[in-house]
């Protein structure tokens, strides 16, 4: 599960936060004025996700047009939107707890 830290925490303890991201392989949202504005993600995790997305696109691409099928695009967009909503809610809850 993702964690959240403020810009001030990142400035004060950059090495510790980066070490945590690398060791846990979970993303950390950087909270700026109550909003998750940046995401720190381990490079290997990112590359793995990009490869998985590329494989998904290869499998679900229409051979005649070279574009993803409508169903594949709708599924990918819906999943990304749901994940973004969940992350924003989680960040807002954590921000309220810190206040």
pLDDT for 63: 66
**CB neighbours of 86 closer than 8 A, spacing ≥ 6?**
none
Query: Using alpha carbons only, what angle is made at residue 36 by residues 35 and 37, rounded to the nearest 5 degrees?
Result: 100
pLDDT for 66: 64
Name the helix (H) or strand (E) containing 16. Answer: helix 14-24
Report the pLDDT averaged over residues 58-74.
70
Residue 44's beta-bridge partner residues? none
Report the pLDDT averaged over residues 18-26.
93
pLDDT for 16: 96
Tell me the C-alpha distance between 66 and 61, whole Å: 6
What is the maximum alpha-carbon separation in the chain?
A: 54
Does the reported pTM lie above 0.85?
Answer: no
Q: Which residue has the higher pLDDT, 11 or 55?
A: 11
22 pLDDT above the threshold of 70: yes
């Amino acid at each position: 599960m993702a964690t959240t830290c403020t810009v001030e925490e990142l400035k004060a303890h950059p090495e510790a936060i980066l070490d945590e991201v690398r060791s846990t392989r979970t993303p950390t949202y950087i909270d700026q004025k109550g909003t998750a504005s940046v995401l720190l993600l381990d490079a290997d995790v990112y590359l793995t996700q990009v490869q998985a997305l590329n494989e998904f696109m290869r499998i679900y691409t229409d051979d005649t047009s070279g574009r993803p099928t409508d169903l594949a695009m709708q599924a990918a967009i819906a999943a990304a939107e749901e994940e973004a909503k969940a992350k924003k809610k989680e960040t807002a809850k954590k921000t309220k707890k810190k206040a």
